[in-house]
Structure 1
Amino acid sequence: MTPIFKAATLAVVTAFVPALATATDIRFTLGWKTQGSDAPFLLALSNGYFAEEGLNVTIDQGEGSAATVTRIMGGAYDAGFGDINAIIQNAAQRPGEAPVMVYQLWNRPPFAIVTPKSAGIETPADFEGKTLGGAQGTPTTRLFPVFAEMNGIDISTISQESMAPNLQEPMLIRGDIDGAFVFTITSWFNLIANRQNPAEDFNWFQFEDYGMDLYSNGLMVSRGLIADKPEAVAGLVRAVNRATLEVATNQEAAMDAIMAFDNLVDRENERARLNFALTNLMNAPETDEIGMGDLVDERLARSIEIVAQGYDLERLPEASEIFDRSFLPPVEARSFIVEISD
């Protein structure tokens, strides 16, 4: 009986070989150079979660969270980690072409104005008469006029200087500007690299605390992938969700996956950046009710209005054009509990 059983088993395995050989190829772009906040995608890759879903995912470094959108629209990539606000901009201008967010990761925005405490800026009104600087085109810079309007700031009294992103913190430290339009998850660590203490020596005016109720980065996919291979999108979301929940409780495994992808990164620095993302960008109170990966439609609608005002968009996309929750696992499978290990 044993030889017959083995033969039967071999026949079953052989029957599945063609299916296993037809994995769906997905070209994936990160939002920037390899960082700790990329852990959900790199852990899913390293641990074989994508492969278990029948996906052959190739991951490349990015050129900016907004560039993820244009990379996907250009056809070079099928999916990526990028900013939902860039989807809103492109969906308004090119309906039906922009990618769609299918798993929201950063449910709190990293947009902020950072000022040295020595500048004496304690409230938004204190920005009047000061000099602020930032890179052109970034959400923080473009949305500042909306921030100013919401908080009763006379923007005509403020001098704004344009500069390359890598000059913001050095100019802030030298006193060339009184505040900088930044991404918290980037600027915090740039200040540390410049031997500054971002927690004790700087004030952070985070947009979400001043009426700018925005979402930010997450997993987005092309409309073509949704139309042609919806089962692949569902598998991609399941793998990322599985890895995200694991990252929240096991940062060592997350960092092992990051180092396996790019052994040139500073492990401790990127571990700190991962923890920053977990505790400052991925922990909105709404996740207790709706789970990680989802968002609140009414909040998204408000954020669309804010982005439209900041970018002078002539058309307001519907929330359904920006986000598609139909690929999400059940809410009970997306319970997000962060445990920061020492």
Structure 2
Amino acid sequence: MKYVLSSLLATATLVFAAPSFAQSIPIKFTLDWAAQGPHSWFYLAEERGYFDEEGLDVTIDQGEGSAAAVSRVTTGAYDAGFGDINALIQAAATAPDDAPVMVYLIYNRAPFAIISKKDGPVQQLADLEGKIVASPAGSATFRLFPALAEANGFDSSTVETLNADQNLIEQLLVRGDAEAIAQFGATSYMNFMAMGEKPEEDYNWFFYSDNGVDLYSNGVIVSRALIEDHPEAVTGLVRAINRAVMDVVADPQAGIAVLTAIEPLTDSAIETQRLQYMIDNQLRTAETAKLGLGDLSMDRLAVSIDTVVKAYELTTKPDAAAIFDPSFLPPLEERQLP
């Protein structure tokens, strides 16, 4: 009996002393901005254990802009993030060995827009000549404005730029200090709502994507080191996020509930509207209906690269394959929006 008991104790000691070989792979993930409705799927993937099921230990940090997210992953400060593909093109042109790779596109349609009053002097894009356009300093929307002007046959050099803080842009248009603004569509839409304006009734919306500058926007980017060292982790990360996106699209309130738990000061009504706006305008497109969310057209991406290279006067043009890698995507049937 002593022998049996000793054997059991020895076995138990070995079991508890044995090292764990199934350790999770840590991934530092950066958002593009403060946590908002369209970020809820990342937190939902964490809350529902989707990352855990893929053997990933994901830490989500808030960001300071879509371009900053690309910079964070480029420098190695983060392993992955939610960044803008146009900023990624710039990074790949200047630092091809360090630039991240996009592996899952979420915003199939870029949110860049020119917005004017319905009763104002700008009723078509050509009316912008000689007018004042307000935009945040360094705005990607306004940086690509010359491409919009070229595509629509007006002279961008005649347009006067009025730079202001991000949260003041819509006020400049409402007060008449500017005849139009260059902003992210969702940002202005929500700001107008908060001001008591009627964005769809009172304003003209000229989206770049509808006016000859058909660009992609944000998606999941990963470092080249993560791809090389842990390709299975990239596959798992994409699969987990895709599951969560599909869950939130099917039930937006589930995403808002998780977001509110993470950020108790969240205005759930505003963030619900912001989330639904992005789903309807940036996720649901004719292309995602065909290719599924996450994928893109390499031909369309090649045209986008040409546009960005010209707009930012880049000396090197990266290849589309260096910008986007579809090999980590789940099957099409799992990426069809509900």
Superposed counterparts of 1:177-216, under 5 Å: 177-216=178-217
Whole-Å separation in 2 of the counterparts to 1:15 and 1:225: 31
Contact 1:46 1:260 in 2 (8 A): no
Task: Report what 1:222 is aligned to.
Answer: 223
Contact 2:113 2:206 in 1 (8 A): yes
**Secondary structure in 1 aligned to 2:103?**
strand
Whole-Å separation in 1 of the counterparts to 2:70 and 2:258: 25
Whole-Å separation in 2 of the counterparts to 1:67 and 1:255: 25
Q: Deviations over 1:204-233 (max 9, x none)?
A: 110001111100001111111111111111
**Secondary structure in 2 aligned to 1:80?**
strand
Contact 2:186 2:274 in 1 (8 A): yes
Contact 1:136 1:142 in 2 (8 A): no
Task: Report what 1:277 is aligned to.
Answer: 278
Q: CA RMSD in A?
A: 1.8
Q: Deviations over 1:76-134 (max 9, x none)?
A: 21111110100001101111211111000000010001111221322111111211111
Find the partner of 1:18 among 14, 17, 20: 20
Q: Quote the offset at 1:17 in angstroms.
A: 7.8
Using the TM superposition, name which of 310-319 and 131-140 deviates more. 131-140
TM-score, normalised relative to structure 2: 0.93
Task: Report what 2:104 is aligned to.
Answer: 103
Task: Report what 1:3 is aligned to.
Answer: none
**Secondary structure in 1 aligned to 2:284?**
coil
Q: Deviations over 1:279-326 (max 9, x none)?
A: 000012111221111000000000001111111111111011100111
> What letter corresponds to residue 18 of structure 1 in structure 2?
S
For the pair 1:44 / 2:59, whether they are aligned, the reply is: no
Whole-Å separation in 1 of the counterparts to 2:289 and 2:18: 40
Task: Report what 1:33 is aligned to.
Answer: 34
Aligned length: 327
Unaligned runs of 5+ in 2: 1-7
In 2 relative to 1, CA 334–16 (structure 1 residues): closer, same or farther, beyond 3 Å? farther
Contact 1:31 1:68 in 2 (8 A): yes
Superposed counterparts of 1:1-342, under 5 Å: 18-20=20-22, 22-337=23-338
In 2 relative to 1, CA 15–260 (structure 1 residues): closer, same or farther, beyond 3 Å? farther
Whole-Å separation in 2 of the counterparts to 1:16 and 1:242: 34
**Secondary structure in 1 aligned to 2:215?**
coil
Using the TM superposition, name which of 227-236 and 118-127 deviates more. 118-127
Task: Report what 2:4 is aligned to.
Answer: none
Q: Quote the offset at 1:146 in angstroms.
A: 0.9
Q: Quote the offset at 1:336 in angstroms.
A: 1.2
> What letter corresponds to residue 248 of structure 1 in structure 2?
V
> What letter corresponds to residue 32 of structure 1 in structure 2?
W
**Secondary structure in 1 aligned to 2:199?**
coil
Q: Quote the offset at 1:14 in angstroms.
A: 7.9
Contact 1:35 1:270 in 2 (8 A): yes
The higher radius of gyration belongs to 2
In 2 relative to 1, CA 265–154 (structure 1 residues): closer, same or farther, beyond 3 Å? same
TM-score, normalised relative to structure 1: 0.92
In 2 relative to 1, CA 17–193 (structure 1 residues): closer, same or farther, beyond 3 Å? farther
Q: Quote the offset at 1:147 in angstroms.
A: 0.6
Q: Quote the offset at 1:155 in angstroms.
A: 2.0
> What letter corresponds to residue 115 of structure 2 in structure 1?
V
Whole-Å separation in 1 of the counterparts to 2:74 and 2:329: 23
Contact 2:145 2:156 in 1 (8 A): no
Contact 1:133 1:163 in 2 (8 A): yes
Whole-Å separation in 1 of the counterparts to 2:303 and 2:28: 32
Whole-Å separation in 2 of the counterparts to 1:311 and 1:15: 58
Q: Deviations over 1:147-180 (max 9, x none)?
A: 1111110223321222221221111111100111
> What letter corresponds to residue 75 of structure 1 in structure 2?
G
Whole-Å separation in 2 of the counterparts to 1:277 and 1:317: 28
Using the TM superposition, name which of 136-145 and 204-213 deviates more. 136-145
Whole-Å separation in 2 of the counterparts to 1:108 and 1:52: 31
Q: Quote the offset at 1:15 in angstroms.
A: 11
Q: Quote the offset at 1:16 in angstroms.
A: 10
